[in-house]
Structure formats: C-alpha cells, structure tokens
Amino acid sequence: MSNCDLCVVRNRAICAALDAKELAALNAIGRTRALTAGESIIWEGEDSVLVANVIDGVLKLSTNTEDGREQIVGVVYPSDFIGRPFGGTTGHGVTALTDAHVCVFSRRDFDAFARQHPALEHKLLERTLGELDRTRRWMLLLGRKSAAEKMASFLVEMTERLAGSACRIDVDKPGQRLLTLPFSRQQIADVLGLTIETVSRQFTRLKNDGVIDLPSRREVTILDYDTLVAEAG
C-alpha cells in the first residue's frame, strides 16, 4: 500500500485530480517527512528546490524585515500546497507552527511530472487563484477592518480551515466547536497587525459576550458561531 493510499488529505489535495496509476507514479517521486514545531522546511531567498503537500499540522509563511523582525504573511493547513513549482526564488520561509507531516517532492521531479499531467497543472492553477483570492481578502482585513472584526475573522478562518483536525465539534453540544490554536497571542497579534494587548482585550470581550470560552491559552471554544461570523462581517 502506497503513501497515497493512506493519505488522509488525498481527496482534498492537488493530487485529487490524478487516477490510481498516476498517483502511483507521483508516489514514486515523493516521500513523507515529519516536522517538529519550529522546524523550517523552506528558507526565504533561496532557490526553489522542493515543493510539498501538507498532510497534517499547521505551518507559517514568513519574511524578515530589514531590521530583523519577522512578519507572518500566510498560514498553510492540511491539504495545502507549499513551495514554488517551475523555478524561481522563494519569497518567504516556511516553518512548522505545530508538529506536522508533509509529502515532499524534488521541485524538478514535480515540475516534470506536472508537465506530463495537465489535470495536475489545472489543479495547481486553481489553488494559485484560490490563494490570490484569500490574499485579497486578507488585504481587506488588515487595511479596513476594526480590531473586533479582525479577531472574529481570524477565529472563523481557523475554524473553517482546521475542521476535522485541530477543530472538533462537541458531541454533547453539537452547536459548539473546540479549537486548538497553533498560535501564541504574540503571533496572532503579528498576523493581524495588532498589539498583544489588543488581542488579549478582544479575547476577553468575546468571552464576556458569551461568543467564546477560553479553557486555556491555546484553546478556544466557539459557543456562538453565527454571532462570530456576523461580527467578522
């Protein structure tokens, strides 16, 4: 049984466009790699030498400013694709926020495979356009939304993207969602362009309003998802 047969994101990743024979050929040029939280797999400014599908875990895309500060510019989740196919220099680093597993391919091998399989190239184009749409929404969030709207949008995004892994529905209370955040308070502030004090105040406000509960620093229980979505705008 190949890695593709066992892959939990097979039907959601770019390789979903391939048939069994094509999956076997793709599996032959890939390998599964485990990452520990804090471990990098791609470095900013280096030549693109590998690409990967995220199987489980959450990773951050980040870049460094001239004065050495890190800016998180994106987050990738299970079934997302990372790396830069068809050459070029990587514009950001990729680092695991949680323990993760990825399916890694040599960029050159993957490029050759993609050129021979138009369905995979089409899936890559769909993913690229999807990323562009998310980037535009994120620009709106950072540029126009209030702190309250930013926090609500962030929690809605986490809930949707982590469904089935770090976000679980309480079987005893089906209206509630249990979310394990892969971010520290400071990282949330960096992602949203807020101060850590503002992030803490927004968490407290949402809790006091009965929208969420905070069992721990990294856990959030969504008590009223509809209200959270409405507040996100």
Does pTM surpass 0.85? no
* Interatomic CA distance for residues 200 and 186, integer angstroms: 10
pLDDT tens track, the chain, 233 positions: 456 767 778 777 888 878 888 888 888 898 999 999 999 999 998 888 999 999 988 999 888 878 877 778 888 888 889 988 887 888 889 999 889 999 999 999 999 998 888 888 888 888 788 878 877 777 776 777 889 999 998 899 888 887 755 555 554 565 688 888 888 888 888 888 889 999 999 999 999 999 999 998 889 999 999 999 999 87
Please tell me the predicted confidence (pLDDT) of residue 1: 42
Q: What pLDDT does 232 receive?
A: 87
Q: Which of 150, 116, 120 has its CA nearest to residue 51?
A: 120
Cα gap 109→114, rounded to integer Å: 9
Specify whether the CB–CB gap between 62 and 72 falls below 8 A.
Answer: yes
Look at residue 128 in the predicted model and tell me its pLDDT: 81
pLDDT, position 43: 92
Closest CA to 107 of 92, 85, 91: 85
SS (H, E, C) the chain: CCHHHHCCCCCCCHHHHCCHHHHHHHHHHEEEEEECCCCEEECCCCECCEEEEEEECCEEEEEECCCCCEEEEEEECCCCEEECCCCCECCCEEEECCCEEEEEEEHHHHHHHHHHCHHHHHHHHHHHHHHHHHHHHHHHHHHHCCHHHHHHHHHHHHHHHCECCCEEECCCCCCCEEEECCCCHHHHHHHHCCCHHHHHHHHHHHHHCCCEEEEECCEEEECCHHHHHHHHC
Q: Residue 165: its pLDDT value, please?
A: 55
pLDDT for the residue numbered 40: 93
